[in-house]
Structure 1
């Protein structure tokens, strides 16, 4: 029987300690064994068809493409149905059924390997793709149920790392096992296998031991995965009353519309699909890169795959440390920049490699310094891909409505499949037009810069969080205390002292949710900062005596932000301090709370205090012509200055006066 679900408020732990948690470890190893089994099976079948058989209906040069296409086809056809089932039924039960399905498939596959029947094994590939199709939505819907929001990035990083390690280990094991030689017993009847076609019974006899070894390994992994899955804690259905639409075509369209309903989520799904576009180009071309570009022996391709997985795994694990245990989508532009840089350098590194007299063995390959640059580029490219993908998937999970989260993941899987297919077709077309593999790298580098830039312009939150991440990691050493006081959902007013021109950016970095700021209209006229705050959809406010109409419009917009259930940021002093001291709080915050209450909203106020920011480049500490000004002495305190944000418990908005709020902020400023 499954264990009871761990409450979301359970003790929060680091990503590696999650492997000791019953709410995560069984799921992780279930996912790991499944990914390893998929790739062991597919790679073994690819080697079997490519090297051990001669089939008129499946040329060896097409084996990898056909097997990959058969595996990905169910994602297009049945992801929509899978998403519905994952929302309607308990996740732990679905995982158990799917692992039983895997065991049954591996029993059939064992017969296929015994008989040497590629047709039967291709049918199993389709079945495995179908099983993966139904597992995907369950997987990504399960994590937000069991992990605290602060653990979601680390948990996704662990799953991503584990998946790619499993891909490498499974592929390596499949290649080694299928190549084992040993004649079949005379009673095995392999030579008469109907599926062999013109393969040649003698060849199949010679590799009988390899075929049996693969069959046993696949079945053992399936059984191990099922056994581990039985320890997965209970994960209830998110929408048990959902009526299943069994028409996959209409449901695909409905799922895409469902995802499109949340702009940030849908465009993040497109960004994740673009990552799969690039990844599938690289993974599908590893054998060609190893042979034709790097002039290596067949064993060089697995080495590249290992470097690929090591890079993805490292980047995925780094996400938690770089995000300070929150969903930090500011890492996504960092990842995109790194991807383009190292794709471009991979192009430069592979353009003029010397051509040896014979294919290079792995030791010979490693002995050439130029090849280390290639491997470094590949590793760093994949590291930045991990930084790109993990926060994006965490955002998709966190921002999707729980009742239809699995269906949005299904929409993501559909688009991923389309992008993977498109990558194969476009790559084939470019190669047909005469481009070399190195040219493909440069094309991808340019395309990635264009596509990522377009997505970030469509979803400016990514760029804003990137700016905030740079400011809090490379300019300041930013420490936040009391982050848990920011409400995870629902409207709230965040009230903070006003010390510098970048206060709003620092608050953005501290909040796991977007903040809409009410800001002095004059700030919008400052170069760069004005553009940043317009991109953040900050609300400009002018003094009432200067522009009464704009003044009222600003408060109306602020109330609408709260009605939408979002966070409103405000600096109650009304201006940046000119002496470093806390100024008198104005009554505007009372008006905001009163307007919200008039519309039925009792909005809490969260007091905040920025510390040690006075005296920095962005504060008005300099005096010019008798005026306090900012941003006139770059690096006036150097880099990596310690600044902090203290966040206090939420206050009852309607009962809080400006003077009471000011007292709370003053206490936070004086806190040790």
Structure 2
């Protein structure tokens, strides 16, 4: 388990304490400025103060995340974490002085400095995971980091509420963030060092050049770039909704300060639980099929939350959260929106870490943070614009839910792989009980050919659900051209093939496409029997694989699929066996070198795999 390993536990603890401290400090200021404004030397309105603080915290992400990623790519990540945690301690000491003196502008300066420290910490935080974890651990690592982050947001928020409610607690408010920062710094000395692969290539670029370089690296892989846009959009929606909670709590739900804390905490708990569940649902692999599920659920529950908000401003006496039925219903839907938000973001972070250039992961994460900040600023600007146009705060929750549906549909039209993976994941994991053995034999990168026995029409869907790397299936061209399934096959980038005598042009085009796919480092899937089995047994293997290997000598990985014979998708004539809950299994064997491939021996190998328990 990751939490018991030295490579993960100290890093996990340090980042958790940092998330707690950031949110403790920010929530302390929100509550103090909201309910004890008279203590501070400012005449600014509450709305102005909250927007100013939000802007000061977010601005450094746009300014410094690129440079932070540049540093994380060129220096020992463990040592860099130590330096950043030491910086956090110094900032908290300065903020402690500001709290004791009730110095408004000094505290605003500390908000900017904490945002700057977080901007530098974000890229190294996420770049640390692919540098230390195995591919099968990436999803779990991201799920744990995302879940603990939002749990610490909750704890920091709740702790701030408790501390502010204590009379004469100014000194306590000042010292606790310093103590947490000190503990976090101490933990970092147990993080094992990670030497960088290219320290000599570092140049202290100016801010603009660092950001431009990061953007270029992020855009090298289309799925990575669109994943960054997807994450940024989530933060746009989150920032828009969370920014409305103080006004919703005070003027529309009649909540006291503790009630506002509960609302913020429920959203954080939802995202944390969604992050943990996403790892369970994904089968410990990077499963981007959860992304459409997450975006749909996020919109649904935001719209349901909006239904429980009154349009008019209420001036009645504030109620505690648990005595306010309307607020409870709103809070539950907010938590469920956060839950699906966790399904949405964790696979996207994991995709970025696994598909980005390994030498520039931190720079790509820095670019992600820059865009996150820009989108959050845009959310704040849109919120101010809507208020200026006369829209009530509940309308912004409605807009967030509707906007998310439109943007999600647009993203999935650009990258159909997300929607296709969701369909595959949903079909296989709701209809079948699936067991896979030998998944480690599929290489993380590089070209290969996987061969499997052909039982039924659903084989391609089942294999795509089992193997997280995109598969390029070779299939009979008339099936590829079927109207009902054509979109599915085109989205999966299947390769149509015909017999040499049946259609020579399609036959030759198929081999050219296969060679191009293997040259690009993709995984090609071939059913060497050339047709569905008519009796459940494995038929003769056709020699087409040998023609492919002549031009592309790549490893061949044998697989055997079992349990599907007799289902409605096979040629068995009796349909008495139930389909729902059917146990199926996939056995994957070690790769065979291209020069050692013999079709008869390969068939025997697949038969042997199928008979394994």
TM-score (norm 2): 0.96
Counterpart pick for 2:62 among 76, 80, 90: 76
Query: CA offset at residue 551 of structure 1?
Result: 1.0
Structure 1 position 658 matched with structure 2 position 599: yes
Q: CA 1:348–1:111 in structure 2 vs 1: closer, same or farther (change >3 Å)?
A: closer
Structure 2 partner of 1:345:
304
Contact conserved, 2:439 with 2:467, CA < 8 A, in 1? yes
1:211 deviates by 2.6
Q: Whole-Å Cα distance in 2 between the matches of residues 372 and 352 of structure 1? A: 17
Deviations 1:346-382 (A, max 9, x none): 22232589968422123421xx3x4443222112111
1:96-135 deviations in Å (ceiling 9; x for gaps):
1111111111222222122221111211111111111111
Q: Which SS does the other structure have where 1:619 is aligned?
A: coil
- Aligned position for 1:549: 505
Q: Does the aligned pair in 2 maintain the 1:238–1:404 contact within 8 Å?
A: no
Counterpart CA distance in 2 for 1:505 and 1:582 is 19
Is it true that 1:242 corresponds to 2:201 in the alignment?
yes
Give the whole-Å Cα distance in 1 for the aligned partners of 2:594 and 2:480: 28
Please name the residue that 2:534 is paired with.
578
Matches within 5 A, 1:180-199: 180-182=166-168
Q: Deviations over 1:522-544 (max 9, x none)?
A: 11222332211101111111111
Match of 1:260 among 202, 215, 219: 219
How far does residue 29 in structure 1 lie from its aligned partner after superposition? 1.1
- 1:113 maps to what in 2? 99
Among candidates 239, 250, 263, match of residue 304 of structure 1: 263
CA contact (8 A) 2:56 2:115 kept: yes
Match of 2:401 among 445, 449, 453: 445
Say whether the 8 Å CA contact 2:252–2:311 is kept in structure 1.
no
Tell whether the 8 Å contact from 1:272 to 1:389 is kept in structure 2 after alignment: yes
Go from structure 1 to structure 2 and tell me whether the alpha carbon gap of 1:386 and 1:81 turns closer, same or farther (over 3 Å shift). same
What residue in structure 2 maps to residue 373 of structure 1? 329
Does the C-alpha gap of structure 1 residues 371 and 128 become closer, same or farther in structure 2, counting only changes over 3 Å?
A: closer
- Distance (Å, rounded) in 1 between the aligned partners of 2:261 and 2:3: 27
Report the number of matched residues.
Answer: 611
C-alpha contact 2:136 2:284 (8 A) present in aligned 1: yes
The secondary structure found in structure 1 opposite 2:424 is helix
Residue 302 of structure 1: CA displacement?
A: 0.7
Query: Partner of 1:185 in structure 2?
Result: none
For 1:595 and 1:534, locate their aligned partners in 2 and report how far apart those are by CA, in whole Å.
25
Instruction: Name stretches of at least 5 consecutive residues in structure 1 with no aligned partner.
Output: 1-12, 183-209, 598-602, 624-632
Matches of 1:657 and 1:449 in 2, distance apart? 51
User: Are residue 158 (structure 1) and residue 99 (structure 2) matched?
Assistant: no
CA contact (8 A) 2:153 2:265 kept: no
Measure, in 1, the Cα distance between the counterparts of 2:219 and 2:303.
33
The CA deviation at 1:58 is 3.1
1:562 positional shift: 1.1
Aligned position for 1:28: 12
Counterpart contact for 1:296–1:360, Cα < 8 Å = yes
User: Aligned partners of 1:114, 1:380: CA distance in 2, in Å?
Assistant: 39
Three-state SS of the structure 1 residue aligned to 2:257 is coil
Write the distance in 1 (CA, Å) between the matches of 2:581 and 2:309: 38
Task: Tell me what 2:564 maps to.
Answer: 613
Structure 1 range deviating more: 608-617 or 243-252: 243-252
Alignment pair present for 1:387 and 2:387: no
Cα distance in 2, alignment partners of residues 313 and 151 from structure 1: 18
After TM superposition, the structure 1 stretch with the greater mean CA deviation from structure 2, 227-236 or 105-114, is 105-114
Deviations 1:42-65 (A, max 9, x none): 222233333233544632222221
- Specify the SS of the correspondent of 1:519: strand
Q: How many angstroms apart in 2 are the aligned matches of 1:362 and 1:78?
A: 39
Per-residue CA deviation, residues 615-649 of structure 1 (Å, 9 max, x unaligned), is 212222249xxxxxxxxx7x962312111111111
Separation in 1, partners of 2:322, 2:512: 69
Preserved CA contact (<8 Å) 1:39 1:170: yes
Greater CA drift, 515-524 or 412-421: 515-524
Is residue 52 of structure 1 aligned with residue 3 of structure 2? no
Alpha-carbon distance between aligned partners in 2 of 1:436 and 1:668, rounded to the nearest angstrom: 63
Q: What does the per-residue CA deviation read over 1:544-568, in whole Å, with 9 as the maximum and x for residues that have no partner?
A: 1122122112111101111111111
In structure 2, C-alpha distance between the alignment counterparts of 1:617 and 1:241, rounded to whole Å: 60
Contact 1:313 1:383 in 2 (8 A): yes
Q: Does 1:592 align with 2:548?
A: yes
CA distance in 2 between partners of 1:454 and 1:564 (Å) = 27
Give the corresponding residue for 1:6.
none
Q: Are residues 1:290 and 2:241 paired?
A: no
- Is contact 1:524-1:531 (8 Å) kept? no
CA distance in 2: counterparts of 1:102 and 1:372, whole angstroms = 36
Indicate the residue corresponding to 1:228 in structure 2.
187
- Which residue matches 2:285? 326
Which runs of structure 2 are paired with 1:330-479 in the superposition (5 Å)? 330-351=289-310, 357-365=316-324, 368=325, 370-479=326-435
Contact 1:153/1:320 (8 A) holds in 2: yes
Secondary structure at the counterpart of residue 595 of structure 2: coil
Distance 1:443 1:48 in 2: 30
CA distance in 1, matches of 2:577, 2:468: 30
Go from structure 1 to structure 2 and tell me whether the alpha carbon gap of 1:350 and 1:114 turns closer, same or farther (over 3 Å shift).
closer
- Which residues of structure 2 form unaligned runs of 5+? none
Residue of structure 2 equivalent to 1:519: 475
Residue 608 (structure 2) aligns with: 667
Aligned residue for 1:97? 83
Corresponding residue for residue 7 of structure 1: none
Please report how far the alpha carbon of residue 437 of structure 1 lies from its aligned counterpart in structure 2 after TM superposition. 3.0
Find the residue that maps to 2:199 and give its secondary structure.
coil
Whole-angstrom distance in 1 between the partners of 2:178 and 2:143:
28
Structure 1 residue 71, shift from structure 2 partner:
1.0
CA contact (8 A) 1:75 1:414 kept: yes
Question: Separation in 2 of the partners of 1:409 and 1:74?
Answer: 15
Q: How big is each residue's C-alpha offset from its partner over 1:203-241, in whole Å with a ceiling of 9 and x where there is no partner?
A: xxxxxxx33212211110110100011111112214323
- The alpha carbon displacement at 1:23 in A equals 1.1
Q: How many Å apart are 1:512 and its aligned residue? A: 2.4
Deviation, structure 1 residue 506: 1.3
Aligned residue for 1:376, secondary structure, equals: helix
> Aligned ranges for residues 607-646 of structure 1 at < 5 Å?
607-622=558-573, 637-646=578-587
| d(CA) in 2 for partners of 1:245, 1:576 | 60
Report the TM-score when normalising by structure 1: 0.88
